Amino acid sequence: MFSTLIKSSKSFICSAKNVISFFAGLSLVFAYAPFSLWWLPFISIPLWFIVLNNKTPKQAAKMGFFFGFGWFASGISWVHVAIDQFGGLPLIVSVLLMALLSLYLALFPALACYLSAKLSTTKRLNLWLLSAFWLITEYLRGVVLTGFPWLSLGYTQVDSPLAAFVPLLGEFGLNSILLLICISIVQLIPYRLIPLWLIPYKTELDKKSSHNIYHYTKYSFPLSVGIIISAIISTIFLSQKTWVSPTDKFVKVALVQGNIKQEIKWSPEQEWPTMLKYFDLTAVNFDADIIIWPESAITAVEPMAQDFLDLANESATLQNSAIITGILNYDINTKKYFNSLITLGKKHEKDTQGDYQYNHGNRYAKYHLLPIGEFVPFQEWLRPIAPLFNLPQSSFSPGEYIQPNLIAKDINLLPLICFEIAFPAQLRANFKPTTNVLLTVSNDSWFGDSHGPHQHLDIARMRAAEFGRPLLRSTNNGITAVVDHQGNVIKVIPQFTQGVLKAEINLVAGETPYTKWGQFIEWAIPLITLVFYIFISRIRLKQRS
């Protein structure tokens, strides 16, 4: 009976730790936009680390999975809006699909926790080792099955003082800084303040240690103090550092938000009314140098919209302006569909004729397509199952990974469509020293009045800060915004309103360190952490022998 009681109590404690892990992950949704409580991760993550530290590989994996499920189930719950409203599936099925996506994404933090325990010298999870493996699994999350890097922890800090690190380390490096600070907080918590039931079971090697909750206590305390002090000093220094310099060149822009309802957007009878709405909103704003229409603003395929495109091209040219618009293109030569951006009107200031003609080179075809929404894997099996797999325009082909910048009125714009803004490596591959402005267009009306569009805007802001360039974000129904080269929102049009955002942006010169060496320096911190772990592990082994 006594042994049964002990087993029951251990089972309860393990269950309680899984619940803590789940709610620690769940709470992180409030750290992202629109709530933007950037300080919250410094409470919820250390709390989770306390119960996670020193666990066996199996225990660590389970707790990592519960944390990840809470993290993603709350953070990307907006995906359910698209499935429920436009997928044509019963509510129970859409909830199930949302849960399956969250369960899949939870595998990545579970893997990080498992490896951090399995490869530890004590075969128990080590937080310092976790900080390195976490970054590795986050990288995998961004590339496996085309990648889904949404909700990376660094995005919680876009409005925090730590954002000063972004031009140097990028969001990925900021992720490392956040984890190391959270680990340091745990190491600095007095041992006696931690409830005994949270303390991991002692291992044979640690029976004599009253501080077995910490690995390498002798080194962890001064290291943790050093990390926090260094982070504070670096933040103060970097916040005063200028990586790029404003020039004396300004560009007038106008971003058109048509606010076309998703329910009618793809109706054939809405093609001309939609196109004329964008043209009418533009006609009174031709004093702008560049006018931006959102993703798929023109719902007719490009070969069928030539009359309208010629009209818009000639009008923009006569008014000494240029239009960049999203459009669907059916390439009559390759027989493929592309989600594209094209330029109309003036390519160069001295042009006397419009730049546009069908299939001209001053265009961009989306490379990183959204699964289900823009292409259907295993479509011969999935398409007959449900309307979800037959959404309008879900048979696109990808463009090239590296494409020329768009040119409008002598301004070089690096374009990304919708989901692509979450992939900094793709942006870096297409960034040129001549790039003046970052451009992203989207149609977030799929996600209704959820937190998805707000998170999307913060991701775009992070790219502007990383690469030190002003960013234009044009959307169908919000959030349309102009962002400066430091990631600050200059002007914005609220969601679900029709309007034109006009602004004058100051072009900048120079490049951030992340632009030049980002693919190397963002991995510096996890690699240094691994080297530190190996070094200390050898010292401990010598002491034991």
Asked whether the predicted pLDDT for residue 418 surpasses 60, the reply is yes
Query: pLDDT at position 522, please?
Result: 81
Mean pLDDT over 163-183 rounds to 95
Please give the DSSP secondary-structure letter assigned to residue 245: E
Cβ(149)–Cβ(423) under 8 Å?
A: yes
Asked whether the predicted pLDDT for residue 202 surpasses 50, the reply is no
- For the record, the structure tokens of 64 come out as 């990592």
Has 113 been annotated as catalytic?
no
The DSSP bridge partners found for residue 371 are 375
Q: What is the pLDDT of residues 216-226, one digit of tens each?
A: 456 677 888 99
Residues 364 and 415: their CA atoms lie apart, in Å, by 7
The SS3 assignment for 167 reads helix
- The percent of residues in the chain predicted with pLDDT above 90, rounded, is 62
Which residue from 94, 90, 87 is spatially nearest to 388, judged by alpha carbons? 87
Query: pLDDT at position 111, please?
Result: 97
Q: What is the pLDDT of residues 90-123, one digit of tens each?
A: 778 778 888 999 999 999 999 999 999 999 888 8
Q: What does the angle CA 58 – CA 183 – CA 228 come to, to the nearest 5 degrees?
A: 170
263 or 167: which carries more pLDDT confidence? 167
175 or 380: which carries more pLDDT confidence? 175
Mean pLDDT over 199-206 rounds to 44
Domain parsing of the chain, residue ranges = 14-242+520-544, 245-506
Q: What does the angle CA 379 – CA 382 – CA 383 come to, to the nearest 5 degrees?
A: 75
The lowest-confidence range among 169-183, 198-212, 466-480 is: 198-212
- Mean pLDDT taken over the chain: 86
Has 522 been annotated as catalytic?
no
Which H helix or E strand runs over 518? helix 513-521
Asked whether the predicted pLDDT for residue 392 surpasses 80, the reply is no
Cβ(349)–Cβ(410) under 8 Å?
A: yes
CB atoms within 10 A of CB 84: 18
Catalytic residue among 295, 302, 420, 522: 295
- Phi then psi dihedrals of residue 338, to 5 deg: -135, 145
Which residue from 258, 172, 147, 63 is spatially nearest to 517, judged by alpha carbons? 172
Q: What is the pLDDT of residues 471-514, one digit of tens each?
A: 999 999 989 999 999 999 999 998 999 999 999 999 999 999 99
CB atoms within 10 A of CB 256: 27
CA 390 to each of CA 87, 180, 278, 381, 398: distance values in angstroms, whole numbers, following the listed order:
8, 44, 27, 12, 18
Catalytic residue among 62, 346, 366, 409: 366
Domain 245-506: give its CATH superfamily. Carbon-nitrogen hydrolase (3.60.110.10)
154 or 335: which carries more pLDDT confidence? 154
Residues 461 and 33: their CA atoms lie apart, in Å, by 12
Which H helix or E strand runs over 229? helix 217-239
The DSSP bridge partners found for residue 471 are 438, 483
- For the record, the structure tokens of 422 come out as 């979450």
Query: pLDDT at position 502, please?
Result: 96
CA 308 to each of CA 271, 330, 353, 521: distance values in angstroms, whole numbers, following the listed order:
11, 16, 17, 47
Query: pLDDT at position 425, please?
Result: 93
439 or 374: which carries more pLDDT confidence? 439
Catalytic residue among 409, 418, 466, 511: 418
Asked whether the predicted pLDDT for residue 311 surpasses 60, the reply is yes
The model's confidence at residue 515, banded by pLDDT at 50, 70 and 90, is: very high
Residues 392 and 401: their CA atoms lie apart, in Å, by 24
Residues 365 and 383: their CA atoms lie apart, in Å, by 24
464 or 545: which carries more pLDDT confidence? 464
Mean pLDDT over 303-310 rounds to 94
Q: What is the pLDDT of residues 339-359, one digit of tens each?
A: 999 999 999 888 888 889 998
Q: What is the pLDDT of residues 11-47, one digit of tens each?
A: 545 688 899 999 999 999 999 999 999 999 999 999 9
Has 400 been annotated as catalytic?
no
